[in-house]
Structure 1
Amino acid sequence: MSDIAFVLRMMCVSTVLALISLTASAADLRVVVSGGFAQAYKDLTPSYEQISGDHLISGWGPSMGNTVNAIPARLARGEAIDVVIMVGDALDRLMAEGKLEPGSKVVLANSLIACAVRTGSPQPDIRTVEGLKSAFLNARKVAYSDSASGEYIKHRLMQILQIEAQMQGKAAQIPATPVGEIIAQGEADFGCQQHSELLPVKGITIVGLIPDQVQLTTPFAAAIVKGSPHAQEANRLLRFLRSPASAAAIGATGLAPVSTP
């Protein structure tokens, strides 16, 4: 990014935050983010902290599943959290359970599923449904996540491709660890996850998005946790993440930003 572009972007961010609130005080905000939005959040955090004065205390965990860091598990044990950023339908379940402030949900971005191989390995052509099917069947070991994309692959995509029986024993759902890291380490030679989660991983090559006919669009959303003592400041963060000033950084991570003025 050029110096001029950087200055213009920072001016835009400053304007957004000034309009959000002229009176909100700085706060320590505890935010837990699921993997699909993690890189965008990391890229935006320094600018937000510098301009707002807030200090973001960040944690990471899947939107669902049984791992100790999963966002529902954190809330269930009463962990102090102000904001969650996660898969939209999982967030809706927490909202229905009364764990989040009613009306605080904002959709930040949409995500698509992509697939990858270890760098240097042959790259299958997955532009068609038949090509994707062949990539699964020809792989020695396949990995997919324990969150939204993996649940879809396990319970729906395998059925659509009619390969459930053939994949028994060689397809594994990976808890907690990013699928890209499993591929990079050679523990699987083909795997699929949210594009934004594969993009930052070194040692892999993303071969493409899965075809439109079998693609799943996953919204990532944020909300304020019920009873947060910093609701005003949390709302300021949500409006910043949803603003046009944040769209470019979100888009650069492989997500499709959803922004409002």
Structure 2
Amino acid sequence: MVHLLKYLFAYALFLTLSTPAIAQLEVMISGGFQGPYTQMLPSFERTTGIKVITKSGASQGSGPKTIKAQLLTGTTADVVILSREGLTELIAMNKILPNSDVDLAQVPIGLAVPAGNAKPDILSTKAFVDALVKAKKIVVPGSTSGIYLTKEIFPKLGISDQISVQITERGAQATTLLANREANIALQPSSELINVAGIDYVGPIPDSLQLIQTFAAAITTNASNLEGAKKLIEYLSSPIAVGPIKNSGMNVIQSK
């Protein structure tokens, strides 16, 4: 019996040492590019044999759930995917491998209402303002788009005291509130409003008020799987990404 146990132990050790470890890659992503990423990830893992561990964080904002805050407190990631505004902050903090950043897609700010509600006219600035004032309760994420709306657009329009704005840490929390009818309008990247259960996407806000966000990917300075990180970014920025990007309400980056 002792000999059998020794044999089994030795065989198990042999299998452990002789079987190549599955390559792993850690990604931290914000909500804006989540749609295309989720659609493309299975085929990337299948074709490369790389197992991807996905973590989530906001592009910008305050609190512990931003990508910046998580990296500063020791959360590991080989690749980050977030708005260009948030990425610029990480580059300034020397958290990004120089020249590793690649733009993936662009997206406008859009407006959504609870499923089944009447869709307001938002084609003109006046119509958009009227819709916000009439709605009263508005929800926005505390990231790039929400910062832009609350700090620039609402004051510019002079309606800050005519509307009630709830700011959530993440875009997914905003759409959950909208789906639960705890808000009448959500304003955030269109890619976070399309194909979301319980809400109806109305369209982009007027061009005169618009913020077109660019979402980009980059390799962190502490990346442990540099080659895998390069492969993922190449994959997400390849022609294969065109379909998923468009299906998520985003625009393909035009080649220069």
**TM > 0.5 between the two?**
yes
Matching residue within 52, 59, 68 for 2:55: 59
Query: Is 1:175 aligned to 2:169, yes or no?
Result: yes
Matching residue within 91, 99, 104 for 1:95: 91
Tell me the TM-score normalized by structure 2.
0.88
Alpha-carbon deviations, 1:210-247, whole Å to 9, x = none? Answer: 01111110000010010212111101110111111111
Residue 125 of structure 2 aligns with an amino acid whose one-letter code is: V
- Tell me the residue number matched to 2:197: 202
Cα distance in structure 2, aligned partners of 1:40 and 1:80: 22
Matching residue within 12, 18, 32 for 1:36: 32
Q: What percent of counterpart residues are identical?
A: 34
Residue 117 of structure 2 aligns with an amino acid whose one-letter code is: S
Residue 54 of structure 1 aligns with an amino acid whose one-letter code is: I
Larger Rg: 2
Cα distance in structure 2, aligned partners of 1:67 and 1:257: 31
Matches within 5 A, 1:158-173: 158-167=154-163, 170-173=164-167
Tell me the TM-score normalized by structure 1.
0.86
Instruction: Give the SS at the match of 1:164.
Output: coil
Q: Provide the aligned C-alpha RMSD in A.
A: 1.7
Residue 104 of structure 1 aligns with an amino acid whose one-letter code is: S
Instruction: Give the SS at the match of 2:34.
Output: helix
- Tell me the residue number matched to 1:21: none
Cα distance in structure 1, aligned partners of 2:168 and 2:70: 19
- Range with bigger deviation, 131-140 or 155-164: 155-164
Matching residue within 214, 222, 226 for 2:221: 226
Cα distance in structure 2, aligned partners of 1:49 and 1:190: 37
- Tell me the residue number matched to 1:239: 234
Instruction: Give the SS at the match of 2:162.
Output: helix
Gaps of 5+ in 1: 1-24
Cα distance in structure 1, aligned partners of 2:222 and 2:169: 30
Gaps of 5+ in 2: 1-20
Residue 259 of structure 1 deviates from its aligned partner by 6.8
Matching residue within 143, 152, 159 for 1:156: 152
- Tell me the residue number matched to 2:250: 255
Cα distance in structure 1, aligned partners of 2:47 and 2:254: 19
Matches within 5 A, 1:84-163: 84-163=80-159
Residue 206 of structure 1 deviates from its aligned partner by 1.1
Alpha-carbon deviations, 1:70-119, whole Å to 9, x = none? Answer: 10011101212100000112101101111110110000000111101111
Indicate if the aligned counterparts of 1:31 and 1:56 stay in contact, CA closer than 8 A: yes
Indicate if the aligned counterparts of 1:37 and 1:85 stay in contact, CA closer than 8 A: yes
Indicate if the aligned counterparts of 1:244 and 1:259 stay in contact, CA closer than 8 A: no
- Range with bigger deviation, 33-42 or 175-184: 175-184
